Structure 1
Amino acid sequence: MNTTQAETTVPETVDPEAEYQQLSTELLRNTKIRRHRAAVQALVEERTILSLPAVQRALIVDSRKGRAAQLTELSGRQYALGLDEGQRKFLGLVLSMVGIGITTLASMEDLDDRRLPIILRAILRLAGNDTIAVGTRT
């Protein structure tokens, strides 16, 4: 009697860090307008928002060149994405950089120490300035 063992295929484990880096690279590569690119870069740096599946479903579209960010899709869905208050305020500021929404700069006072430098760097990118450094004052 001849028996064969069933081949068990072990699915490749997906490295979340590598997947996030690939997504980030693709989104930035496929974003050509400076203000949109600054906004996408801010979301990439902030990470917690872009890592959420609900945000990815609302934001990311497949294009001929790969995945791309469709920022306008986030505007009406901010409260349905499962974001906490800090994430919503950050997203509001990011969307305002591309002309979506009416978030004022005054809401920057509500950002934590991690998100504030990200927004400041995004504003500098938006202005086309790569000479001013954002960091801790000594």
Structure 2
Amino acid sequence: MTTTTTQAADTDEADLPTLGELLLASAKNNRDRIATQALVDEETLLTRDSVRNALVAKQGGRMTCRWEGLSGRLYTLGLDDVERAFLGLVLSIVGIGHITIAVVEDLDERRLVIVQRAILGLAGNDRVAIGTRLTDSRG
């Protein structure tokens, strides 16, 4: 009689790096790292096959982001307007594409905070607090 241990398999899987960790480890520069971190923080886009197929490639034995491939397929990925706006802003962090900052109007609060963190990281500023609700100064 043969018995198998699932605990060892579970432990092995827990030790494996996630796709996000692999992509962050392969980031070529600060912009690439910040854009990748924004995608990882957003959590849902990297779970979509269409986005992964357009973005992720294995180069030199490492998983990496092919931002140009994603940019060229942005409108064919089956994304809604909010997802496309967020992804467009992420691409602009890398320096690809042209998107107006006005698309932040379309973002939900969770994605807006991610974009704010990314912009601050890009600016090299870690002193600005995010999360405080601003009020209209006109009264």
User: TM-score category by the smaller chain?
Assistant: 0.7 to 0.9
Higher helix proportion, which one?
A: 2
Q: Structure 1 residue 73 and structure 2 residue 69: aligned? A: yes
Q: Structure 1 residue 98 and structure 2 residue 105: aligned? A: no
Q: Give distance in 1, aligned partners of 2:79 and 2:60.
A: 30
Which residue in the other structure is 2:114 paired with? 118
Q: Give the alignment's TM-score, normalised by structure 2.
A: 0.80
Q: Give distance in 2, aligned partners of 1:116 and 1:21.
A: 27
Please, what is the CA RMSD of the aligned residues? 2.8
| Unaligned runs of at least 5 residues, structure 2 | 135-139
Q: Deviations over 1:40-93 (max 9, x none)?
A: 111111111111011111111112252111111111101111111110010011
Residue 36 of structure 1: how far off its partner (Å):
1.3
Q: Give the alignment's TM-score, normalised by structure 1.
A: 0.81
Percent identity over the alignment is: 50
Give aligned pairs, total. 131
Counterparts of residues 1-138 of structure 1 (less than 5 Å): 22-137=18-133
After TM superposition, what 4+ stretches of structure 1 lie above 6 angstroms from structure 2? none
| Unaligned runs of at least 5 residues, structure 1 | 1-6
Which has the larger Rg? 1
